[in-house]
Each structure stands twice: as C-alpha cells, then as structure tokens.
C-alpha cells in the first residue's frame, strides 16, 4: 500500500519550504532528511535528552516528539539559523566555543536552542530559571559547569551583566 503524503509548509531559519511527508514523519527527521539540516541531533528519540530541541514559533520544542505535519505553517529555528549574519558563530554558539561548553558536541545544538530562546526574552531570566531550563538537557561529557558559564556569557551580552542590572 502506498503511504499517503501530506503537504506541509515550514519556514525554517527564515526560508519557506513545502515538503510532502508521511503523517508520522518526526519533525527532527524532516529537518535532517528532507531539508538536510543535520545540525539538529537525535539522541534518545523519546523526549529525554534535549539534543533535538528547535524553536517552533519561538518556543523550544523537542523535535523528536513532534510530527512534521503538526508544525504545518510554523516558523522553525534550528542551530543553523543561529549563525551570525556574516555566517560565523552567533552569540550563543560563540559563548559555547569560548567557554568550552562542549566536548563531543552531540548535545550542543539542543543547548544552543534553549539558550537562544532565553536571550530572545524581554527580560533576563534569573539564575534559578537558567538552571531549570538547562536541566532539561543531558550532556555526557562536560559536567555542565561550562555550559552554565556559556549560557551566562550569552545572557550577559544580551542583557548586560547581572551586577549591572
């Protein structure tokens, strides 16, 4: 039996795409396979590790828990969309690089997206909120300290240092 395909419109990193996907195609698989955006990583594939996090209409979502058809009409941001205008590292990516917030890098795109959502807020989240948001991601390498430092660097650049507030 031929699988039914569903026309799905996604705006990914500012570029409009129309894909034809099976009803059960995960958003993560759609991004990686159909659109070639392999910066979004798949780890656990059941909503635990956070590696697959992308922004859907500005909110962090686990793309392994969402069907592509459910995102029809949405604006998606992936780590590829977090680059600077000149194509270099964007502020969150640079903070992770400068603060050694990664080792193997498998978890990093997910952390980058959660931090990106935090710097796009109207107000700086307090340290407990930052810790809580980062706790939704698993990293098997770094021990998390440098990830916290990187997140705070990105927040400092966006909002000014905590002392100055």
Q: Which is nearer to ligand FES, 56 or 124 (CB)?
A: 56
Q: Give min distance, CB of 145 to ligand FES, in A.
A: 12
What proportions of the chain, in percent to the nearest 5, are helix, strand and coil? 35, 20, 45
Whether the Cβ atoms of residue 74 and residue 84 lie closer than 8 Å to each other: no
Q: Give min distance, CB of 114 to ligand FES, in A.
A: 12
* Site for ligand FES, residues 119 to 158, rule: CB under 6 A: 139-142
Q: Which is nearer to ligand FES, 71 or 124 (CB)?
A: 71
Which value, in Å, is the radius of gyration of the alpha carbons in the chain? Answer: 16
Choose, by CB under 6 A, the member of 64, 95, 113, 154 that binds ligand FES.
64
> Cα dist. 46→89, 95, 140 in Å?
29, 28, 17
- Pairing state of beta strands 75-77 and 5-12? parallel
Strands, E assignment, 63-122: 75-77
Choose, by CB under 6 A, the member of 10, 29, 50, 114 that binds ligand FES.
50
**34: contact with ligand FES by CB under 6 A:** no
The residue ranges that bind ligand FES (CB under 6 A) are: 42-45, 47-52, 62, 64, 102-107, 139-142
């Amino acid at each position: 039996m031929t699988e039914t395909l569903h026309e799905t419109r996604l705006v990914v990193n500012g570029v409009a795409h129309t894909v034809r996907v099976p009803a059960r195609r995960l958003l993560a698989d759609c991004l990686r396979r159909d659109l070639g955006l392999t910066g979004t990583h798949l780890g656990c594939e059941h909503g635990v590790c956070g590696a697959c996090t992308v922004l859907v209409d500005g909110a962090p979502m686990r793309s392994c828990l969402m069907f592509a058809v459910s995102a029809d009409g949405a604006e998606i941001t992936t780590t590829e969309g977090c680059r600077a205008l000149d194509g270099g590292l964007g502020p969150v990516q640079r903070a992770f690089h400068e603060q050694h917030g990664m080792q193997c890098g498998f978890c990093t795109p997910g952390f980058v997206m959660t931090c990106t959502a935090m710097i796009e807020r109207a107000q700086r989240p307090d340290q407990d909120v930052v810790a809580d948001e980062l706790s939704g991601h698993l990293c098997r390498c770094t021990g998390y300290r440098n990830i916290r430092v990187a997140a705070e660097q990105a927040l400092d650049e966006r909002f000014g240092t905590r002392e100055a507030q």
